[in-house]
Amino acid sequence: MASSSHRVWFITGSSTGFGRTLAEAVLDKGETVVLTARKPEQVEDLTAKFPNRALAVRLDVTKPEEVREAVKQAIATFGRIDVLVNNAGYGTMGAIEELSDEVVRRQFETNVFGALDVTRAVLPHLRQQRSGHILNFSSVGGFVSFPGAGIYCSTKFALEGISEALAQEVAHLGIKVTIVEPGAFRTDFNGRSLVLSDTQIADYEPVISSFRQWLQDNDGKQPGDPKKAALAMIQAVESDNPPLRLTLGADAVSAIDAKLESVKAELYAWKEVAVNTAFEGAEVGAIGG
C-alpha cells in the first residue's frame, strides 16, 4: 500500500455521520480523500480547506452511472485508490410484516447493492496495484438482529457475508477487508438517517415499541464518539494485521459476545441431532476443505 502521506481514501456518504468524521480525521493526518456524497456541495468546506488533497464527487450509490463516474474521477485526479470506505447507508425501523416491498427494496439497494457496486468498480484498480484496503460499514446489527430492525439488520448481515468471502478471495492479491461494526454512536443515524414504518400493527407493539422508543430517546445521547471511532478505523488500516471485524463500542462488544455464547450453547445442545444426519459411513470434512 502507498505510504500514509500518499494514501488515497475513497469514502461514500462523506457529507455527514461517520463518513464526514472519518474524512476529516484522514485529511488532518495529511492523507488524501475523495469525498463522495449525493450533495457534494455539503463537503465544499473540506475541499476549500484542503484543495490539493480533497476532491468532492457526486455519488448516489444506487445509480451505477454515478458509481463508475466517481471512480473514474478519483483515478484521473489522484492516480490510485488505496482505501475504499463503503459508509453510505441508512436504517429502516419496523416489523417485518409492516414494511412495504418498496421500502425493503430501497433499503437493500442502498445498503447492499450500492456498496457491492462501488466495491466491484474499485476492485480492478486494487488488483492492478496489488494493494488496498476495503472498509465495509456494517453494524452491531450486522451480527445481532433486533426486533423492529430486521430489514436493516438483514442488509448488514448480507454485507458481512459478502465481506467474509471477499476477504478470502483477495488476500493473495495484497488487498485487505475489514467489516466495521459500530454500536450506538452520536451520529444522525437515530434521527435523519432512520426511516420509520408508516404502518404499525398492534400485535407487534409489545415486542418492538420499546426498541423504537429507545432509538428515538437516545438520538444525540449515544455513548460512542465518532472521532474516536475514526481513529480506530485509521489504526486498523495502518495495522500490518488488521481485523476482519472491527467492533466499535462497549455496547457492541457486549451484544456480540452474548450472541456468540448463545449460538455456541445452542449449537452444542443440538450437536447430536446435527451430526447424526450423514449417510452411514460417509466421511465428513470441513466445508470448502
What positions carry a catalytic annotation? Answer: 138, 152, 156
Cα–Cα distance, 277 to 272 (Å, whole number): 9
CA 9 to chain centre: 15
Classify 195 in phi/psi space as left (phi over 0), alpha (psi -120 to 50) or beta.
beta
DSSP labels, 256-268:
HHHHHHHHHHHHH
DSSP assignment of 89-123 equals --EEES-TTTS-HHHHHHHHIIIIIIHHHHHHHHH
C-alpha cell at 113: 447493492
CB 156 within 8 A of CB 183: no
Task: Provide the angle, in degrees to the nearest 10, between the axes of the packed helices 115-129 and 64-78.
Answer: 30
List the one residue out of 158, 156, 4 whose CA is nearest residue 90: 156
User: Who contacts 84 (Cβ-Cβ below 8 Å, separation ≥6)?
Assistant: 9, 10, 118, 119, 122, 126, 132, 133, 134, 135
Q: Is 248 helix (H, G, I), strand (E, B) or coil?
A: strand
Residue 28: CA count within 13 A, CB half-sphere: 10
Cell 488496498 found at: 132
19 in Cβ contact with 12 (< 8 Å): yes
